[in-house]
Structure 1
Amino acid sequence: MARKVFEDRLSELHESLMSMGLLVEEAIYKSVKSLVDKNVDLALEVVTDDQRINEYEVKIEKKCFELIALQQPVGTDLRRIATMLKVATDLERMADHAVSISKSTISLKDEIYVKPLIDIPKMAEIVKEMVREVLDAYISLDREAAIQVSKKDDQIDKYFSMIFMELLEIMQQDPAKVNQAIHFLLVAQHLERIGDYVTNVCEWIVYLKTGSLVDLN
């Protein structure tokens, strides 16, 4: 009976984590779309909805600690709970970066963009793919899939370097565009950080499967 209660509570935690992950994926999508479309209402949605994501993290953390206190799990069971705690934290941080991107949308609402946004949306698309795929890897506990997702972070880093060099050139050529260029650079940096957090989740999937902590960065 005690084992069934433990498994039921783990399943509830698992479902909460997946729901949180879907909200985070949606926040990333909306934040970049709001920037590209100059849609302040959509950006404000991301800022407002972040509270729900924060509440999920608090709820998951509370239930994980309750489960540890009541069941005193060891071995694989303890790894499962520890992984949920870490993944929830990383998801919450990804959402914070989506909020920051949305705040750039709001700050730039009255400006004409110095150029059409091309590389940032492409970079964001890879980031969204990584979030979706890492959640799938977590559901299936697929170590190899997690490792493959982590390799996409190299593409994110390349986009960040390209965007950085392009924006640096714009700032040098037209000092009036420095503020706008800095916002776009920060957006790229936020996306790059989300990629890093996805890689962290990949590492926790490998840990859950093998019991070994690996560095996939």
Structure 2
Amino acid sequence: MAANRTMFGEQLKVLDEKVFLLAKKTMQQIATVAEALEKYDREIALRVIENDTELDELELEINDGAIILIAKQQPVATDLRHLVTAMKIATDLERIADYAGNIAKAILRVETYPYVVDITLLKETVETLLDMTETALVAYRDVNVEKAKELQELDNRVDEMTYKALRQYMRHMSLQPVVVDEVMQFTNICRYLERMGDHLTNVGEHLIYMEKGKHYDLN
């Protein structure tokens, strides 16, 4: 029994390391697409899209590994919640990476540079999202509920900045209808960034559930 328990612990550690790896790769995708946006670099944007397959495969690997452990070890209580949490977090991270890919595609649709709009708020939002991802990663690594709760305030900042940017861009469209198609790409980017924040708060909620066995709303 002790040997089985030791083996399960080692396998769980390997699974967690894959979740950490996925989180780090997700952070890299966010940072890379931010660079593509700031520089209007189409090659970097294409790289973000190409890299998405690797993150998709890693998410599937995490989910498959967790399912195998559940089937073979039949864990209960905290151990079971840990495995379910790993799967849910992997799914949220993969969705964040998908939104980074969507932003890259939006950049490729933009034809005017310098941009017809100010992207200062978008850059600030990305910085906050990177802080959120780092916070979520530390909270998961340390199983730190209080750290996970910090995601709520960070997400509020993301919501506020994307809302301000959306209002700014909608006003721009009303004043200069000729650039509607162009500005629409930036309104889409706002929505993708806002959704990234929501998925990061989900990560915090999953962690709290894993540790406390109860649901907590960070949105």
2:99 is the alignment partner of 1:87: no
| Higher mean displacement: 53-62 or 108-117 | 108-117
SS at match of 1:7: helix
d(CA) in 1 for partners of 2:153, 2:80: 28
d(CA) in 2 for partners of 1:82, 1:95: 20
The residue number in structure 2 matching 1:186 is 188
Displacement after TM superposition at 1:110 (Å)? 4.8
Displacement after TM superposition at 1:23 (Å)? 0.5
CA RMSD of aligned residues (A): 1.0
The residue number in structure 2 matching 1:118 is 120
- 1:202 paired residue among 204, 210, 218: 204
The residue number in structure 2 matching 1:161 is 163
Displacement after TM superposition at 1:116 (Å)? 3.7
Displacement after TM superposition at 1:7 (Å)? 0.6
- 2:102 paired residue among 100, 103, 114: 100
The residue number in structure 2 matching 1:14 is 16
d(CA) in 2 for partners of 1:104, 1:30: 14
d(CA) in 2 for partners of 1:103, 1:118: 20
Give 5+ residue unaligned stretches, structure 1: none
How many residue pairs match? The answer is 217
d(CA) in 1 for partners of 2:192, 2:63: 25
Question: Do the aligned residues in 2 keep the contact of 1:31 with 1:102 (CA within 8 Å)?
Answer: yes
d(CA) in 2 for partners of 1:164, 1:49: 28
Displacement after TM superposition at 1:206 (Å)? 0.7
Q: Deviations over 1:129-161 (max 9, x none)?
A: 101111111000100010012221111111111
Question: Do the aligned residues in 2 keep the contact of 1:40 with 1:109 (CA within 8 Å)?
Answer: no
Report the AA paired with residue 27 of structure 2. Answer: E
TM-score (norm. length: structure 1) = 0.97
d(CA) in 2 for partners of 1:69, 1:109: 51
Q: Deviations over 1:179-204 (max 9, x none)?
A: 11111011011010000000000101
SS at match of 1:49: helix
d(CA) in 2 for partners of 1:121, 1:45: 19
The residue number in structure 1 matching 2:79 is 77
SS at match of 2:168: helix
Question: Do the aligned residues in 1 keep the contact of 2:155 with 2:197 (CA within 8 Å)?
Answer: yes
TM-score (norm. length: structure 2) = 0.96
Displacement after TM superposition at 1:112 (Å)? 4.0
Displacement after TM superposition at 1:208 (Å)? 1.1
2:136 is the alignment partner of 1:131: no
Displacement after TM superposition at 1:109 (Å)? 4.5
SS at match of 1:115: coil
Q: Equivalent residues in 2 for 1:19-38 (5 A)?
A: 19-38=21-40
- 1:142 paired residue among 137, 144, 150: 144
Give 5+ residue unaligned stretches, structure 2: none
